Amino acid sequence: MDIRKIKSSRAIEAFIEAEQEKYEAENGVSCNYTPFCFAATIGDEIVGVVSGATFFSEIYMDELVVKEAYRRKGIGTQMIKAVEAFYHGRGFHNINCCTNGFQASAFYEKCGFELEFVREDKSDPKLNKYFYIKYLDYDDG
Q: What kind of fold does domain 31-135 have according to CATH?
A: Aminopeptidase (3.40.630)
C-alpha to C-alpha distance for 65 and 51, rounded to whole angstroms:
9
* pLDDT per residue as tens digits for the range 57-94: 999 999 999 999 999 999 999 999 999 999 999 999 99
Q: Looking at residue 86, what is its pLDDT?
A: 96
Per DSSP (E only), the strands in the chain are 34-42, 45-55, 58-66, 94-100, 114-119, 129-135
Domain residue limits, the chain: 31-135
* pLDDT per residue as tens digits for the range 110-124: 999 999 999 999 999
As a dihedral over the C-alpha atoms of residue 108, residue 109, residue 115, residue 119, rounded to 10 degrees, the angle is: 50
Answer whether residue 32 shows pLDDT above 60.
Answer: yes
* Distance between start and end Cα atoms, the chain: 50
Q: Looking at residue 138, what is its pLDDT?
A: 57
